[in-house]
Amino acid sequence: MPGTTPQIKCEELYKLLREGKTEEFNQRRERGESCDLSGADFRGVDLSGMNADGLDMRNCYFRMCNLRGIDFSSTQLAGASIHGAQISGVLFPAELSPDEILLSLEHGTRMRYTA
């Protein structure tokens, strides 16, 4: 499937997240910086504490990530995969059914939004 392979991006804010600098990432976003995170590879990254409000994280790969406590309720996650991720305290978008989340967590399927 073209366009669904996770990517290591050159975006500066993406690099901050990969390096575990979520506080700096959050501060720079608060100052108005933006970045394209769609389709990004976050395999094994600790993203806890990240402000995901309004981000486009469609088709992201979160395998074995620490996502604990993140509020994804206003984040685009269609097509993302969370296989083996730590999701305690995560608030997912209402459009994602519990079954979609569980299938992605246990089997790595890409999450689909329900109407």
Q: How many structural domains are present in the chain?
A: 1
Helices H, strands E: what count in the chain?
Answer: 3, 0
**Residues lower than pLDDT 70 in the chain:** 1-3, 115
User: Tens digits of per-residue pLDDT, 24-51?
Assistant: 999 999 999 999 999 999 999 999 999 9
Q: What is the pTM of this model?
A: 0.92
Contact 73, 93 (CB under 8 A): yes
Q: What is the pLDDT of residue 5?
A: 85
Burial of 111 per CB tally in 10 Å (0-12, 13-18, 19+): buried
In whole angstroms, give the CA distance from residue 77 to residue 37. 11
Using only C-alpha atoms, the chain has a radius of gyration, in whole angstroms, of 13
Q: What is the pLDDT of residue 1?
A: 44
Q: Whole domain around residue 47: which residue ranges?
A: 1-115
